[in-house]
């Protein structure tokens, strides 16, 4: 069998490359053919995945291994074509690794690598899809914000979650922070998100959100957070949607209307183990097709990757599922 391995050599302040280098002999010992693709600033993870999958014939499949964090995998997914023809292996090498935690991957990366190199499909997984409308404050000037359908509508894929509001604002602030690189080097990358969350809670304006879930409309007053999840964890270990399943073509929703800072500091820590759902300020739902609209543009993320602000989101899952080798 042949495996294509995609690596960001500068990911996690160089730790991604070191992890891959330690695991490469394990890959070689499997006896499979291995082709390694390193991303560059000019030709990134998404570009590599697009090139590898765009010309697949109808009966052709590809074994593709992504080494990196949740953000790297998000970028990879947004570059892929012919999702149902991809057999995906994933080796977590980020700071949060929410997908790995959510689907129960072993922390033993050697054992995980050996399992992937067997080439057997272990499960299939939904891929989330979010259309963004009323876009502003684009962060990638001169480059595409995502994928585009035949009608020219812009969307992005996600494996774990997409969010509008507070959690996306935290991701944007963390990415813009000068301290992030230093903390990553010290293996303390999660701290920057906590620092940003504490700072932003005092400045974030709560917005009224209209959410339509499978044609049922609900207005949420002074909403702090909206997140639609395909898996249980996001944001470096927050279990926002404890009941989410990633193969049922449904998305779980967590909507927070914590109007006071005191309520936030009471509820927010409990989200690490999913106990936030007991509070009246937390609203849970589930559906196949979700529309959310805000009176003002707010930051949007997919798996922690922020590219713009938007006023409206149209969220569902791709018709095709992806096959996982782990």
Residue 84 is predicted with a pLDDT of 96
Residue 165 is predicted with a pLDDT of 93
Lowest mean pLDDT among 17-26, 184-193, 194-203, 303-312: 184-193
Residue 174 is predicted with a pLDDT of 81
Band (124; pLDDT cuts 50, 70, 90) = very high
In Å, how far are 71, 188, 235 from 94, measured between CA atoms? 8, 11, 12
Residue 75 is predicted with a pLDDT of 96
Helices 45-53 and 70-79 cross at an angle (nearest 10°) of 40
Q: What CATH code is assigned to 2-120?
A: 3.40.50.10330
Plot region of 24 (φ>0 → left; ψ -120 to 50 → alpha; else → beta): alpha
Closest CA to 243 of 251, 280, 59, 235: 251
Residue 182 predicted with pLDDT over 60:
no
Band (184; pLDDT cuts 50, 70, 90) = low
Q: What is the mean pLDDT of the chain?
A: 92
Over residues 187-226, the pLDDT tens digits come to 555 666 777 888 888 888 899 999 999 999 999 999 999 9
Is 230:70 a contact under the CB 8 Å cutoff?
A: no
Residue 235 predicted with pLDDT over 90:
no
Band (125; pLDDT cuts 50, 70, 90) = very high
The domain 128-319 is classified under which CATH number: 2.60.200.40, 3.40.50.300, 3.40.190.10, 1.10.275.10?
A: 2.60.200.40
Over residues 262-283, the pLDDT tens digits come to 888 899 899 999 999 999 999 9
What average pLDDT does the segment 174-196 reach? 65
Neighbours of 93 (CB within 10 A): 24
More confident residue, 283 or 178: 283
**In the chain, what are the domain boundaries?**
2-120, 128-319
Q: pTM for this one? A: 0.93
Distance (Å, whole) CA 110 – CA 68: 15
Residue 141 is predicted with a pLDDT of 59
Residue 118 predicted with pLDDT over 70:
yes
Instruction: Give the whole-number percent of the chain exceeding pLDDT 90.
Output: 79
Residue 25 is predicted with a pLDDT of 98
What average pLDDT does the segment 56-75 reach? 96
Residue 176 is predicted with a pLDDT of 75
């Amino acid at each position: 069998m042949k495996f294509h391995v995609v690596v960001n050599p500068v990911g996690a302040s160089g730790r991604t490359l070191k992890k891959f280098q330690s695991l490469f002999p394990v890959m070689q010992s499997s006896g499979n053919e291995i082709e390694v693709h390193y991303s560059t600033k000019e030709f990134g993870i998404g570009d590599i995945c697009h090139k590898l999958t765009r010309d697949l014939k109808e009966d052709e499949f590809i074994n593709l291994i992504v080494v990196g964090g949740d953000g790297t995998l998000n970028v990879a997914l947004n570059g892929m074509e012919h999702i149902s023809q991809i057999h995906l292996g994933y080796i977590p090498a980020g700071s949060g690794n929410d997908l790995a935690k959510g689907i129960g991957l072993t922390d033993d990366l050697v054992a995980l690598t050996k399992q992937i190199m067997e080439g057997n499909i272990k499960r299939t997984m939904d891929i989330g899809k979010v259309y963004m409308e009323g876009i502003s404050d684009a962060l990638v000037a001169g480059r595409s914000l995502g994928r585009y359908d035949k009608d020219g509508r812009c969307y992005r894929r996600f494996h774990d979650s997409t969010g509008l509001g507070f959690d996306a604002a935290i991701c944007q602030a963390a990415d813009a922070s000068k301290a992030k690189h230093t903390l990553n080097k010290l293996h303390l990358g999660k701290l920057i998100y906590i620092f940003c969350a504490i700072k932003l809670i005092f400045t974030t304006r709560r917005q009224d959100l209209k959410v339509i879930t499978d044609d049922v409309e609900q207005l949420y007053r002074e909403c702090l957070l909206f997140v639609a999840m395909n898996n249980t964890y996001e944001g470096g270990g927050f279990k926002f949607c404890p009941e989410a399943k990633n193969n049922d073509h449904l998305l779980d929703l967590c909507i927070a209307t914590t109007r006071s800072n005191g309520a936030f500091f009471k509820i927010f820590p409990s989200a690490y183990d999913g106990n936030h759902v007991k509070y009246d300020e937390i609203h849970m739902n589930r559906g196949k097709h979700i529309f959310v609209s805000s009176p003002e543009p707010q930051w949007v993320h997919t798996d922690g990757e922020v590219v713009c602000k938007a006023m409206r989101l149209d969220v569902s899952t791709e018709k095709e599922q992806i096959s996982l080798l782990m």
